[in-house]
Amino acid sequence: MSKTTEAHAQLSFFESVNRNFDRAAVHTGLPKGLLAQIKACNAVYQVRFPVKIGNEYQVIEAYRVQHSHHRLPTKGGIRYSQKVNQDEVMALASLMTYKCAIVDVPFGGAKGGVKISPRSYTPAQLQKITRRYTTELIRKNFIGPGIDVPAPDYGTGAREMGWILDTYLTFKGGEIDAAGCVTGKPVNQNGIRGRTEATGRGVFYALREALSYKDDMDKLGLTTGMEGKRIAIQGLGNVGYHTGIICQEEGGALITCVAEYEGAIFNPKGLDIKALAKHRKETGSILDFPGAKNLTGRKDVLEIDCDVLIPAALENQIRVDNAPRVKAKIIAEAANGPITAAAEEILIEKGILIIPDMYCNAGGVTVSYFEWLKNLSHMRFGRMEKRFDQNTYHNLVALVERLTGKTIDNKERALLTKGADEIDLVRSGLEETMVTSYNEIRKVYKRKKAVQDLRTAAFINALGKIGSDYLALGIFP
């Protein structure tokens, strides 16, 4: 290992993100002062609050970091994990800034974290913790539809977001746009259809687009298209689950290996993700799934022979100790920061194509943006135009029948004349976002000969947009 690689191996998560920032910054031509402003975390809030659990009080450690205010509100998920610390939350907040810029979502980056293990608490206890955390954010003006808008992350979901909204309404009941204070809410609590699957679907669109370029795939020794590609997934949470199902059902991929905290399983003929999820719900484990082989260790998934590896768990999973044994041709980072800076150098030398996290998992914030817009407009997407479009399509079909003398059967008629529902529009908007963003990143990657990876290209793309925003504000001449 070189001295440089040795030093990188010791980097924290936040330092690793900033190292990637520095590597891209030299290609932007932006002033040093401006780059320093973009790089810095603007506000870090650390809080400890008491919550009564059973017959005793526990002091809970929590964070909210607003990385950049170049656009408001700031936006980012809330993570519940025993591993939460300030460095991690700062790193995730900074990634959110760059992620929002890459997919042209008009937010600054933020992130929250509560240092607990959700499995150690009952739903009632989690609700008390969530409501108290929200209260602390309200007291410090760290939440609001025009200030800072949280969303789900590791260990949280629609349930927790519903509790946050209800707590916010208790304090801000007369605020007309109060529903926009948080996204990822249940649909019946001002949420949006398609939000639960959004990050996984975004990973699917990102991977599908990467696989569509013949010259890129020729370098990897792969054919174009997702059909028949062998995919290994680390993590069967919300993101891994939906990524697997959509790649399987809409892309025709083979999910050959899946890992969770209890272990990993493998089947070269493919695993049925829906059946696997049902098996895990019934048995409490993915192990001993019919037709699959149990692997010796849960991290074996990272070294399995496959075409595409999708880390969908936590950060720092691929490190210098296991990177040389990674056999995948493509790594699609569904999780945040799954590859350390030192490990990435090894993977790039091996010729592996890495689809970076701040683009690959941006489906969640993209659809959160759609939800926020829905909350501010106070109207469901598709309500105004669905019936008009449906009637127009029906008239066109009728005209075709008259001109051709042929009759279109009811099944085809229903398909041709369908007006778009909310989920159709959400999926369409997400697909457009992910496809357009990938092509922007790839264009930078192809244009700049000194850039050897998509992550650096993505950073360059993001920094250019954020820099333009700051320059437009007149802060930097």
For 106-121, what is each residue's pLDDT tens digit? Answer: 999 999 999 999 999 9
* Tokens at 255, concatenated: 């999910």
Q: Looking at the structure, do residues 205 and 257 belong to the same domain, yes or no?
A: yes
Q: Are residues 262 and 296 in the same domain?
A: yes
Residues 28 and 69 in one domain: yes
341, 16 contact by CB (below 8 A): yes
For residues 79 and 181, state if they share a domain. yes
Report the pLDDT value the prediction gives residue 16, as an integer from 0 to 100. Answer: 87
**Residues 326, 283 share a domain:** yes
Per residue in 128-165, pLDDT (tens digit) is 999 999 999 999 999 999 999 999 998 999 999 999 99
Q: Residue 52's domain is classified under what CATH number?
A: 3.40.50.10860
Is 279 in the same domain as 202? yes
Do 111 and 18 share a structural domain?
yes
What's the pLDDT at 305?
94
Q: For residue range 387-417, what is the model confidence (pLDDT) as tens digits?
A: 999 999 889 999 988 999 888 888 888 888 8
| Residue 301 and residue 202 share a domain | yes
Cα(122)–Cα(125) distance, integer angstroms:
5
- Overall domain count for the chain: 3
- Of the candidates 463, 476, 473, 475, the one whose C-alpha atom is nearest the C-alpha of residue 101 is 463
- Phi, psi (rounded to 5 degrees) for 195: -70, -40
Residue 477: predicted pLDDT: 61
Planar angle of CA 324, 330, 336, nearest 5 degrees? 85
- pLDDT (tens digit per residue) in 267-318: 999 999 999 999 999 999 999 999 999 998 888 899 999 999 999 987 888 9
Would the pLDDT of 3 be above 80?
Answer: no
Model confidence over 428-471: pLDDT tens digits?
999 999 999 999 999 999 998 888 899 999 999 999 999 998 88
Domain hosting residue 356, numbered range: 198-363
11 inside domain: yes
Token reading at 154: 């590791």
What's the whole-model pTM score? 0.90
Kindly state the tokens that stand for 450. 């000194």
Q: Is pLDDT above 90 for 65? A: yes
Domain membership flag for residue 378: no
Whether 217 and 358 map to the same domain: the answer is yes
The DSSP string of 69-120 is -SSSSEEEEEEE-TT--HHHHHHHHHHHHHHHHHTT---EEEEEEE---GGG
Task: Please report whether residue 261 resides in a domain.
Answer: yes
- Find the CATH number of the domain harbouring 311: 3.40.50.720
Range 18-39 average pLDDT: 92
Question: With 50 as the cut, is the pLDDT of residue 377 above it?
Answer: yes
pLDDT of residue 7: 47
Asked if residue 174 belongs to a domain, the reply is: yes
End-to-end alpha carbon distance in the chain: 43
Q: What share of the chain is helix, strand, coil (3-state, %, to 5)?
A: 50, 15, 35
Is 452 inside any structural domain? Answer: no
CA distances from 241 to 78, 195, 200, 246, 291 (A): 20, 14, 7, 9, 19
**Cβ 359 vs Cβ 210: under 8 Å:** no
Q: Residue 264, SS3?
A: strand
Residue 6, pLDDT > 60, answer no
Q: Is residue 430 part of a domain?
A: no
> Is 453 inside a domain boundary?
no
Please, what sign has the CA dihedral across residues 454, 457, 463, 469? negative
pLDDT at 386 over 50: yes
pLDDT at 401: 87
Residue 469 CB neighbour total at 10 angstroms = 16
Q: Is residue 431 part of a domain?
A: no
Q: What residues act catalytically?
A: 111
Pair (18, 43) in one structural domain:
yes
Over residues 213-252, the pLDDT tens digits come to 999 999 999 999 999 999 999 999 899 999 999 999 999 9
Asked if 180 and 211 sit in the same domain, the reply is no
Residues 6+ apart with CB under 8 A from 235: 259, 260, 311, 312, 313, 314, 334, 335
Residue closest to 51 by CA, chosen among 135, 153, 145? 135
What percent of the chain stands above pLDDT 70? 97
Residues 60 and 115 in one domain: yes
Tens-digit pLDDT profile for residues 319-376: 999 999 999 999 999 998 899 888 999 999 999 999 999 999 999 999 999 999 999 9
- The predicted pLDDT at position 341 comes to 85
Using an 8 Å Cβ cutoff, are 202 and 360 in contact?
yes
Residues 6+ apart with CB under 8 A from 310: 203, 207, 231, 232, 233, 234, 240, 243, 331, 332, 334
